[in-house]
Amino acid sequence: MIPPVPPEAVILLAEDLPNDVFLIRRAVANAGIDNPFFVVTNGEECIAYLHGKGQYANRDEFPLPDLLLLDLKMPKMDGFEVLRAIRSERRFASVRIIVLTSSQDIFDVNKAYDLGANSFLVKPHDFENFTTMMRTLAAFWLQQSTRASVTRPRGKGQDPGETAGT
């Protein structure tokens, strides 16, 4: 059976610094990525978004992400705690988590992979490199790598568990 055309991959960014959100948004746009893009500004909000709690209750408005770009240093609940929480829930096993941080500490890198991050990116210092990074990220994660099925009960007609996008 030919699966229906998969909906576009949804990207969720968890980042507390407005400046970095602005920079990442611009880099994403510059890299030609026009996928649905959502932002949460701390770890608790990120978990609330994934659980569809509170203001995120409407899944049509706040669809489950295929790709989570996760900062490590955030208030309330840091990126490691978010990673641990997400990976403890089987239903989120298919959410691909890419850490995006200013930390270059090898222990942070190891810890993130150990906790189940799919990949780890260090925020570049200048904007040009940020754009290049986002372009490379898109080329691999949005074009080459196959997504797992993300359950979107009220999504655009996607039958969970039956379709995948590439």
Partner 1 sequence: MANMTLPEQAVILLAEDLANDVVLIRRALDKAGVKNPLLVVRDGEECLAYLRGVGKYSDRREYPLPDILLLDLKMPKMDGFEVLGAIRKEKAFSTLRVIVLTSSEEIRDVNRAYELGANSFLVKPLEFENYAAMMRTLSAFWLRCSAAPKLDLPLEAPGTAPTSTLQGSQPTP
List residues binding partner 1 (CB under 8 A): 3, 90, 93-94, 96, 104-107, 109-111, 113-114, 116, 118-122, 124-125, 129, 133, 136-137, 139-141, 143-149, 161-164, 166
Asked if 35 and 10 count as a contact pair (C-beta separation under 8 A), the reply is yes
Cα–Cα distance for residue pair 99/117, rounded to 1 Å: 7
Q: Which is nearer to partner 1, 54 or 107 (CB)?
A: 107
Least Cβ distance, residue 82 to partner 1 (angstroms)? 17
Least Cβ distance, residue 26 to partner 1 (angstroms)? 18
Q: Which is nearer to partner 1, 61 or 114 (CB)?
A: 114
Asked if 70 and 43 count as a contact pair (C-beta separation under 8 A), the reply is no
> How would you list the strands of the sheet with 11-14, edge to edge?
37-40, 11-14, 67-70, 96-101, 119-122
Q: Which is nearer to partner 1, 61 or 162 (CB)?
A: 162
